[in-house]
Amino acid sequence: MKRRRYTMSTSCFVCERHLHWSLLALLLAVPFPGSKLHADETDWYAGGQAALDVARQLEPVNQRARNVIFFVGDGMGVSTVTAARILEGQLKGGHGEENVLSFERLPYLALSKTYSANQQTPDSAPTMSAMMTGEKTNDGVFGFSEAVQRKEKQWQEIQQYRLMTLLELAETRGLSTGVVTTARLTHATPAACYAHTPEREWESDADLPFGTDVPDIARQLIEFAYGDGLEVAMGGGRRAFLPASVVDGEGELGRRKDGRDLTREWVERYDNAAYVWNTEQFHEIDAKTTDHLLGLFEASDMEYEADRSDDSAGEPSLTEMTEKAIRILSNNPNGYFLHVEGGRIDHGHHAGNAYRALTDSIELSNAVRKAMEMVDPKETLIIVTADHSHVFNMAGYPKRGNPILGKVVEAGQSEPARAADGKPYTTLSYSNGRGFAQLERGGDTRYGRPIHHGRADLTGIDTTDEGFHQEALVPLIMESHGGEDVAIYAGGPMAHLFHGVQEQHYVFHVMAYALGLR
Please, which pLDDT band fits residue 518 given cuts at 50, 70 and 90?
confident
What 3 state SS string does 474-493 have?
Answer: EECCCCCEECCCEEEEEECE
User: What pLDDT shows up at residue 43?
Assistant: 82
> Would you identify the CATH topology of the domain 67-391+483-515?
Alkaline Phosphatase, subunit A (3.40.720)
Count, residues in the chain: 518
- pLDDT of 10 > 90? The answer is no
- Give the CA dihedral 335, 190, 428, 104, nearest 10 degrees: 10
The 10s digit of each residue's pLDDT in 319-367 is 999 999 999 999 999 999 999 999 999 999 999 999 999 999 999 999 9
Active site residue 431: no
Please, which pLDDT band fits residue 14 given cuts at 50, 70 and 90?
very low
Please, which pLDDT band fits residue 23 given cuts at 50, 70 and 90?
low
The 10s digit of each residue's pLDDT in 137-153 is 999 999 999 999 999 99
Query: What phi and psi, each to the nearest 5 degrees, are found at residue 381?
Result: -85, 125
> Of the residues 124, 176, 317, 389, which is catalytic?
124
Q: Do 262 and 275 meet the contact criterion of CB atoms below 8 Å apart?
A: no
Three-class SS state of 309: helix
Average pLDDT over residues 206-226: 98
Domain residue extents for the chain: 67-391+483-515, 402-479
- Distances in whole angstroms, Cα of residue 93 to Cα of each of 88, 97, 117: 9, 11, 45
- pLDDT of 16 > 90? The answer is no
The 10s digit of each residue's pLDDT in 426-450 is 999 999 999 999 999 999 999 999 9
pTM score over 0.75: yes
Q: Do 386 and 335 meet the contact criterion of CB atoms below 8 Å apart?
A: no
* Dihedral sign, Cα of residue 323, residue 324, residue 325, residue 327: positive
Average pLDDT over residues 227-246: 98
Spatial distance between the Cα atoms of 218 and 511, rounded to a whole number of angstroms: 26
- Distances in whole angstroms, Cα of residue 133 to Cα of each of 232, 337, 351: 20, 14, 30
Own/partner pairs, 91-97, CB within 8 angstroms, 24+ separation: 91/6, 91/8, 91/362, 92/8, 94/35, 94/401, 95/34, 95/35, 95/400, 95/401, 96/401, 96/404, 97/34, 97/400, 97/401
